Amino acid sequence: MIFIIFSLVGCNKSSNKIHSEVKKTDLKQYLSIELEGEPKTLDQSKTSDSYSSQILYEVNEALTRSEVDENGKNIVKPAGAESWEVSSDRLKWTFHLRDNKWSDGKKVTAEDYEYGIKRNLDPEINSQNAFLLYPIKGARNFTESDKTVSKSEQIGIKAVDEKTLEIVLEAPCAYFLDLASYQVMQPQRKDLIEKFGNKYGKELDTMAFCGPFSISKWTHNKEMELIKNKSYWDNKAVKLEKILVKLGGEDSLNSLLNGSIDLAKDVNLEYSKTIGKNEKVDIIKLPEPSVNFELYNQNNKLFSNSKIRKAFSLALDREEISKSLWKGVYTPAYGWIPPCIRIGDVYFRDKVNFEPIKSMKSEEAKKLLIEGLKELGMDGDPGKVTVNYLQSGTDIKQKDIADFFQKMYSKNLGVNIKVEYVDYDLFSKKIISGDYQMASVIWRGDYNDPSAYLNMWVKDTKLIPTGWSSDEYDSLIRKANTMGDNKNEDRIKNFKEAENILVAKEAVISPTVYRNKQILKREYVKNIMAPAFGPDIELKYVYTNGRE
């Protein structure tokens, strides 16, 4: 999931046990939730937003599934594949599929997985998530070259038979099973995609589903209804018969308190303090592998200069941002990779013991800005600089955030900041097309490894266009990605050096705070699961007990 709207609501290393044993259940099993926006598309190869991803995880089944065990530990469980083997050189993975069916009764086959994974790599589709599949043999070459049938056949993915999928990697991949749970590893229906073309994924009648739920209604920009998928292989584990998903809500706390929804996420801690003791609401606080950051477009003359980018990064008082804007809920970010991200059995931040942005602290922001302006042949007076600052969202919460940063930049650099407020869809389009100068964005990794945060800045990934590329950076990342052992000190060293280039030496982006997730739910909502990677809230095992 790529772009997430800022909402006034870090990452810690604690683990939380938040699902419990099923004991009693209400006779009628249903749930109401709310998404802040409309899924742009449910075509796995064309989506990039968190709203689409939340739905896709519930209605489809990748090879594996990210879950949380009884002790609160994040794990990867067999899903579409019931078992697998890996060769001694850790290059060839053989997945054995379950007996599963699509919601229209057709069998889910290895060919569906092969087609779906290869379609994500199709250069004509231009999927923003294609780069995630580059560990697969031939994947990068196919995506970055002209499409031909012969090159497609050279990709290391093959349906051996109806229930056996073989995937061959370029090099051992330490996080491959985690990656196998992501939506790029979900099966896709070739017959439906060819039948409906560009309409596929945008209208209900163009799709079939193979996950815990299927979609029964979709009223655009209003609501979506999910129902239990009777064809799903593990349907006995699914207790909810219906989920009503309200689309476009802006005040999830009030919706929760007035009874229109049963659970809400990303509710501000300050707001949650207003909840009365008689409200019968549980508050769950969890680590979230995501980071807020400032993004600079280097195709713009001003931000083509590294000194100016460094100046804008140093102008941000991260301690003050954490304390005043986020009320201490989010923690200051002096690196790009969040504290809860592991490299093998250890946390990356603990292992490297280095905060790259702190290494720039001795440099003066305003002085760097003036030097950079002169290097560009521009007037050295910061007061004559006006920066267009793109913000996602138009409500009061987003304006409070933008106003805070606007004042901080103006105070510490003396520049003029012009804020442009746009809705989420337009924000995404502007970022992807490079139609921005500076923007506030949130990134959440797709799997538990530093590469989930560093691969995206390699040249030609096409994920978030910045106009920046570095052969040195690319080399470090590619070398690290060919090292299949997480205990390899060179792998750790390469990631450390690459992160330093990204946020300190080149200041391509400026991390501001690490985030934490907060879920509020009615007491009668049971068995909630919130894996660090995968859907924000896993609904497969949820049930209710005690709803009045």
Model confidence at 92: pLDDT above 90: yes
pLDDT of residue 361: 79
pLDDT tops 70 at residue 74: yes
Lowest-pLDDT choice from 5-9, 171-175, 486-490: 5-9
Helix 489-500 crosses helix 471-481 at what angle (to 10 degrees)?
Answer: 150
At 8 the pLDDT is: 34
Phi, psi dihedrals of residue 512, rounded to the nearest 5°: -115, -50
Nearest by Cα to 530 from 123, 176, 48, 73: 73
Of 231, 227, 276, 285, the closest CA to residue 256 belongs to 276
Give me the mean pLDDT over the 159-179 stretch: 95
How close are the terminal C-alpha atoms of the chain, in Å? 36
| Amino acid identity, position 465 | P
Identify the pLDDT of residue 544: 97
Mean pLDDT (whole number) for 94-111 = 98
Buried b (16+ CB within 10 A) or exposed e, 492-529: bebbbbbbbbbbbbbbbbbbbbbbbbbbbbbeebbbbb
Distance CA 353, CA 500 (A): 12
d(CA 120, CA 139) in angstroms, rounded, equals 10
Helix ranges (DSSP H) in 445-488: 451-454, 471-481
pLDDT value for 13: 44
pLDDT digits (tens, 9 = 90+) for 356-366: 999 987 789 99
Predicted confidence at residue 3, as pLDDT, reads: 38
What residues form DSSP beta bridges with 84? 95
Task: Kindly give, in sequence order, each residue whose CB lies less than 8 Å from that of residue 236, ignoring residues fewer than 6 positions away.
Answer: none
What pLDDT band is residue 279 in, cutting at 50, 70 and 90? confident
Taking the C-alpha atoms of residue 130 and residue 146, their distance in angstroms, rounded to an integer, is: 15
Host H or E run for residue 497: helix 489-500
Cα Rg, the chain, nearest whole Å: 23
pLDDT at 209 over 90: yes
Query: Which range has the worst mean pLDDT, 110-114, 390-394, 414-418, 451-455?
Result: 390-394
447: number of Cβ within 10 Å: 22
Task: Determine the Cα–Cα distance for residues 439 and 436; give it in Å rounded to an integer.
Answer: 7
Rounded Cα distance, 502 and 468, in Å? 10
Q: Average pLDDT in the 300-325 region?
A: 97
Give, as one character, the DSSP assignment of residue 31.
E
Q: Which of 2-11, 44-53, 222-231, 287-296 has the lowest mean pLDDT?
A: 2-11
Residue 340 tokens, joined: 């809860």
How does the average pLDDT of the chain come out, rounded? Answer: 90
CB-count exposure of residue 403 (10 Å: 0-12, 13-18, 19+): middle
Q: Please say whether the beta carbons of 438 and 312 come within 8 A.
A: yes
- Determine the pLDDT at residue 7: 34
Contacts with 64 (C-beta within 8 Å, 6 or more apart), sequence order: 76, 77, 78, 79, 80, 81, 177, 178, 180, 181, 185
Report the distance separating Cα 226 and Cα 228, nearest Å.
7
Please tell me the predicted confidence (pLDDT) of residue 64: 97
Mean pLDDT (whole number) for 214-220: 97
Domains of the chain (ranges; CATH) run: 62-99+109-186 (3.90.76.10), 287-516 (3.10.105.10)
Average of pLDDT values for 219-247?
A: 97
215 to each of 57, 231, 451, 478, how far by Cα in Å? 12, 13, 33, 40
From the number of C-beta atoms within 10 Å of its C-beta (0-12, 13-18, 19+), residue 85 rates as: exposed
- Give 147's pLDDT tier (boundaries 50, 70, 90): low
Question: What is residue 152's predicted lDDT score, i.e. its pLDDT?
Answer: 67
- 3 phi and psi angles, rounded to 5 deg: -95, 130
> Where do runs of H (alpha helix) occur along 273-364?
306-314, 318-320, 348-352
Residue 158 CB neighbours (<10 A): 14
Both tokens of 180, joined, read: 């196998």
401/398 Cα distance (integer angstroms): 5
Q: How confident is the model at residue 516 (pLDDT cuts 50, 70, 90)?
A: confident
* Virtual torsion, Cα 132, 133, 138, 142, nearest 10 deg: -70
